[in-house]
Amino acid sequence: QQQVKQSPQSLIVQKGGIPIINCAYENTAFDYFPWYQQFPGKGPALLIAIRPDVSEKKEGRFTISFNKSAKQFSLHIMDSQPGDSATYFCAASMSNYQLIWGAGTKLIIKP
Amino acid sequence: NAGVTQTPKFQVLKTGQSMTLQCAQDMNHEYMSWYRQDPGMGLRLIHYSVGAGITDQGEVPNGYNVSRSTTEDFPLRLLSAAPSQTSVYFCASRKGFGTEAFFGQGTRLTVV
């Protein structure tokens, strides 16, 4: 019940396309859902986060869509660029507990 | 502003050796944690601390010890290195639960 399932494991998209990464969770007590971006040789860095009282949040070209009833949330990258090539992690937590991490998605944007 | 600093960046150990991975943050964050990252397995929590003098186990604590004597420092000790501990280790700090986690650059550890 503490797991966060992330898919796909890897994704290749042409420049300008819209990659979509999905995550699903079971614990309805989760109330914080961040996405982290990690470049090779670096630590993960927060990209965007959402709380369950909203269904969508946009920051620049990055959008989180949140479906509370389905217990799913997804990351969309608009007008993707080769510089977006990285590993993306979703996570979830309750307000007084640890971050539970998805397994990660390796995204490659082809020029 | 240095953020989270981890040392060393790379380390090779022989089986049975011990070592300490250092982690320091300058953001006055109460919450610090250690993760290991293995291919296809995401980030797995080893140990965490919610303040100086307070530590607790995460998902994969066996073979590792931690202490938190100051707010700034959170070292991770490998007691007797094993090949299964070959991994990339990340230290992270946060102001509190449900807030942004800041990660160090990582330590790539190989145990032979």
pLDDT band at B71 (very low <50, low <70, confident <90, very high): very high
Across the interface, whether the CB atoms of A43 and B106 are under 8 A apart is answered yes
Chain B (25-54) residues lying within 8 Å, Cβ to Cβ, of chain A: 33, 40-45, 48
* Residue in chain B lying closest to A90 (CA): B42
Give the model's pLDDT for residue B2. Answer: 78
What's the residue count for chain A? 111
> Would an 8 Å CB–CB cutoff place B89 in contact with chain A?
no
- Which pLDDT tens digit goes with each residue over B19-50? 999 999 999 999 999 999 998 788 999 999 99
Across the interface, whether the CB atoms of A31 and B100 are under 8 A apart is answered no
Q: Which residues pair with B11 in a beta bridge?
A: B109
Chain B residues within an 8 Å CB radius of A6: 42
Instruction: Return the DSSP state at A27.
Output: -
Q: Which residues pair with A63 in a beta bridge?
A: A58, A76
How much of chain B exceeds pLDDT 70, in percent?
99
Give the model's pLDDT for residue A96. Answer: 67
Give the model's pLDDT for residue B40. Answer: 78
Can the peptide bond before residue A8 be classed as cis, meaning omega within 30 degrees of 0? yes
- Going residue by residue through chain A, which has 111 residues, state the pLDDT in tens, using 9 for 90 and above: 578 999 999 999 999 999 999 999 999 999 999 999 999 999 999 999 999 999 999 999 999 999 999 999 999 999 999 999 999 999 999 876 688 999 999 999 999
Q: How far is A105 from chain B (nearest CA, A)?
A: 9
Give the model's pLDDT for residue A1. Answer: 59
* Nearest by Cα to A19 from A110, A111, A107: A107
Residue B57 structure tokens: 């186990």
Instruction: State the average pLDDT over residues B81-93.
Output: 97
Can the peptide bond before residue B8 be classed as cis, meaning omega within 30 degrees of 0? yes
**Average pLDDT value over all residues in chain B:** 94
Chain B residues within an 8 Å CB radius of A103: 40-42
Using CB atoms, pick whichever of B42, B103, B106 lies closest to residue A104: B42
Instruction: Return the DSSP state at B53.
Output: T
Indicate which of B97, B100, B108 best probes the interface with A, i.e. most A CBs within 10 Å of its own CB: B97
Q: How far is A111 from chain B (nearest CA, A)?
A: 26
